[in-house]
Structure 1
Amino acid sequence: MTLSDTHETETQDAARALFLELTGRQPDGLWSAPGRVNLIGEHTDYNDGFVLPFAIPHRTVAAVGLRDDDRGRVRVASTFADEPVEVALDELDELFPTTLGTEPAVPEWAAYPLGVAWALRQAAMAGAAAATGDARGIRGIDIAIASDVPVGAGLSSSAAIEGAAASALNDLWSTGLDRTALARIGRRAENEAVGAPTGIMDQMASMLGETDAAIFLDCRSLDANLVPLGVAEAGLAILVMDTRVKHAHSTGGYGERRASCELGAKIMGVPALRDVSVDDLPRAQQLMDDVTFRRVRHIVTENQRVLDTVRVLREQGARAIGDLLVASHVSMRDDFEISVPELDTAVDAALAAGALGARMTGGGFGGAAIALVEQDAVTTVSDAVAAAFAASGFRAPALFTVTPSAGAHRDA
């Protein structure tokens, strides 16, 4: 059994034990979904652009069971929270949607699974009304959540919760939605229940992940193609450098960056920045203030870097993408201004210790960076990053390698 298998078993056991404590019985099943690393393509998703994430071995497990005593209530519990949260299914429509950027009506951790239940129930009831007018499959439910996806690290612990909950409810409520539809459910929960203005990349990666492959996703059409990474085959490893600086997408700079992108698209007269090319940037610079232009320039060049990375992976392999990763980080640091000193220190230290490429990953303002390193240099690079953090007086980072892994599924 590998270390990731051991972690998954422990997480399953924790979810099952919590469900037993909550309900006094065994769950109807266990469902899980992974976190993700975004190889490249940051903040391009909500601009209808391109992204290249992959699912990681770290997973959230949901132990779930239909309620026998009451058809109309949903109760959620988590190993990360002291108390469960319980509401009537009919009350979900009163709790949600939440206005973007405002606090959800329930504790944030609970807004993710409850938001999924709300969005999936609405979709199911709309479908039932259109078909037979019967949505009797929507029954009360208990959900117990455990996870080993680092929270606040930019590895999409939120999408892992959404994916596990959506997969479970889709099965137990017999709603029959496909994985892309469930990803849409997760995004709606994140946007409208939690109030985080994120795109759909995280949910798609968590639902569609495959072993040893990244997901090349067109966020406008939601066309997804698997791109073999061949990292291990090339003698390489992907090192995650979690700065342990927590971030939250529902607050602060994330929403401001999205507003800047929307303004830039309006100035350029296009539906989204996806429709602006690198060749359009000189004209954009003439039309915009400096801050808006730099935000736009990041998105436009980052979209191109995703396309270039996919091409290079297919033509030359993983060893050839290092410079693109570095250029992505520089753009996020200087143009989009979403890095922090800890992320820059991690990237710089990894590159100085011999990493082929490195960049922050995720929404920014904290979280993690990744480095593409030789397999036999993982310890060397890790030690260099840890030493750089100590020298800067930063909290010690969490350092671990990840491999592209499977997406959401039923475990038991």
Structure 2
Amino acid sequence: MYDIPNWKHEGVGVYTNKSICMPRRGHGSPQMSFAAEQLLDMIAEDMGMDPAELRLKNVRKAGDVLPNGDRLDSCGLRVGIERIVEATGWKEKRGRGNYRGIGMGLSAMFSGAMYYPFASAAIVKLNPDGKATLFTGQSEFGQGSDTAMSQIAAEELGLDLEDIVIVSGDSELCPIDLGGFLSGGVYVSGEAVRRAAEDAKRQLLQVASEMLDVEVGSLQIEKGRIFHKGNPQKGVSFAEAVRYNIQKHNGDPIIGKGFCKPVPEVEFYPSLTKGAGRFTDAYGFTVAVAEVEVDPETGRVKVERVTIADDCGQPINPANVHGQLLSQVVMGVGDALFEEIVTEEGRIVNASFEDYKIPGVHEVPEFVHIPTGTFEPKGPFGGKEVGEGARAAVIAAIANAVADAIGARIYSLPITPEKVLEALEAKKRGR
């Protein structure tokens, strides 16, 4: 996220006898953002500088190349910070006291990574009734992938959404797809779908060119009709072209194939063995601002509002984007304030929802969404990651907002009432 031209890090793995770790939304980035984004605020405080201004001076921009070689063809961090500062009344609310605070957090997330063999393929079959059947291995489990994949196919083919019949998640019928993880749904699976639809469209236009006796380049498809750009009256329906192809070529179907692999110029992912190298083709970015109120008597924190300026490129489905972000706001509130695995002598003692606190409906804050409107040239119709990165920014924003509210920092999660009261007491004692 930040313009650091060179970096070096060392990591040490520690084996414990506690419960094993598993990937969760964000894949480790929330923990790092919680620490790094608080450090940014602490640096700003020491410099007597607005934390938003410090971030604005140091965030990356489109065209930057990261130290590992990843290139940012799109990056909405600068415009995101500018818009969110204005929309939230940041300057007026910052440091206002009375146990009310406002804080900012930034995050980045890859759009599908090079973990071998992360890739996706899709098939589009054109039907004689004018519809198209899409086969994709991407599985729908509530994230809206069936809708997004169908929209991408419909847009490329020039059909209405209801003209797409989708077959998804069937490993016997559908081509390879490594699944809905690593935020590669739209960017990787969606691009495979777009390429499959493009391949089918190319074949269909060739058939229509033969039917109408015109050049392929002079044809256009819109709402299920293929017509001459200079003479729209001269055309055929999608269904007529498919049926003509079946009759003329003894039943030969029109089937398009598409395949997409992140960072295609690199055959294997070098970081698995060398700890270096390219990682992804595109990053999604989030700027989050949280507004909180702290009760100094009980230490309880209430998150009143979370505003997110997100850079997911061009949203394929705005409703899906809103849902993805809101769900990450709720998860971020849980991570920041409630969720904790408690162990005693290596045993988990809060292994049920009776003891493991998660946000309820009363803890869900007001949510405001500000799109940044960037365009990712390598993504399908300009789209990229939106499903994971915001969670990290929300956690960091809440932590910084609490610090703004009470004038003291809390360095571990979750930010419980006990920790808030301890921080207030330490501040009172001048520690």
Report TM bin, short chain: under 0.3
TM-score normalised to the size of structure 1? Answer: 0.26
Q: Which protein is richer in helix relative to its size?
A: 1
TM-score normalised to the size of structure 2? Answer: 0.25
Q: Which entry has the higher C-alpha Rg, 1 or 2?
A: 2
